[in-house]
Amino acid sequence: MMNKLKVITSTTREGRKGASIGKWITDLSKNIEGFEVELIDLGELNLPMMNEPNHPRLGQYQYEYTKKWRENITESDAFIIVLAEYNYGFPAPIKNAIDYLFNEWKYKPVGIVSYGGVSGGLRATQMLKQVVTTLNMMPLSEQVNIPFFTNYMNEKGNFKGDEKLNNSAINMMQHLYKWSTTMKKMRETM
Ligand SMILES: Cc1cc2nc3c(=O)[nH]c(=O)nc-3n(C[C@H](O)[C@H](O)[C@H](O)COP(=O)(O)O)c2cc1C
């Protein structure tokens, strides 16, 4: 079964490293048969701060950028969020991008690739799990946490995982594929 996987970054600042880590995981996902993958860099998506007048649960979106975002997420079967940690929490842009929509996220699995200093983004990961379960998403217990992530970046700013990191990412994506297939069938019967 072909499942659509969207890799979504979490940061928008100039010089963000998330895009490079997103590219690494996107390239690696090509090892998983059955995933059709797209990388969404929130810095390029450039959503304003959530300004829709109605509760997203109603799906009555006013703005073109929200409608486009809805289409993008509606067609998805699985997500990987490439998560930075800002001040022991998750960065505001990913919360903003999530908050725009509601039912579009429902019954879809999400894997988390977090990065940071000594914590590897674990605190941000735990906070994000609380949010995504509110939307009826399934956060995987298999996750990739990258401490001191700059050790994996070359002078050109490209991220390259070592064998251990690549294997843990592939393991997470294999589970993600299983969940996405099961949850797709579940959505079809609802
Ligand atoms: C506002 C801000 C707060 C940060 N807070 C943390 C933190 O709590 N924990 C951590 O491990 N790194 C923290 N860092 C360092 C980030 O891990 C590092 O800057 C990383 O590159 C951020 O991701 P980005 O480049 O995609 O924005 C912080 C960075 C910024 C800009």
pLDDT per residue, tens digit, the chain (190 aa), is 899 999 999 999 999 999 999 999 999 999 899 999 999 999 999 999 999 999 999 999 999 999 999 999 999 999 999 999 999 999 999 999 999 999 999 999 999 999 999 999 999 999 999 999 999 999 999 999 999 999 999 999 999 999 999 999 999 999 999 999 999 999 999 8
Residue for token digits 């990412």?
169
pLDDT value at position 190?
82
pLDDT value at position 178?
98
Residue 156 CB partners (closer than 8 Å, separation 6+): none
State the distance from the centre of ligand 1 to the C-alpha of 106, rounded, in angstroms.
Answer: 29
Which amino acids bring their CB within 6 angstroms of ligand 1? 11, 13, 16-18, 84-88, 116-117, 119
State the distance from the centre of ligand 1 to the C-alpha of 75, rounded, in angstroms.
Answer: 31
pLDDT value at position 99?
98
pLDDT value at position 142?
98
In order, the DSSP letters of 127-188 are HHHHHHHHTT-EE-S--EEEETGGGGB-TTS-B---HHHHHHHHHHHHHHHHHHHHHHHHHH
Round to whole Å and give the CA distance between 156 and 82.
20
Q: If you take atom 24 of ligand 1, which residue's CA is the nearest one? A: 16
State the distance from the centre of ligand 1 to the C-alpha of 11, rounded, in angstroms.
Answer: 10
The domains of the chain, with CATH numbers, are 3-188 (3.40.50.360)
State the distance from the centre of ligand 1 to the C-alpha of 187, rounded, in angstroms.
Answer: 36
Round to whole Å and give the CA distance between 70 and 74.
6
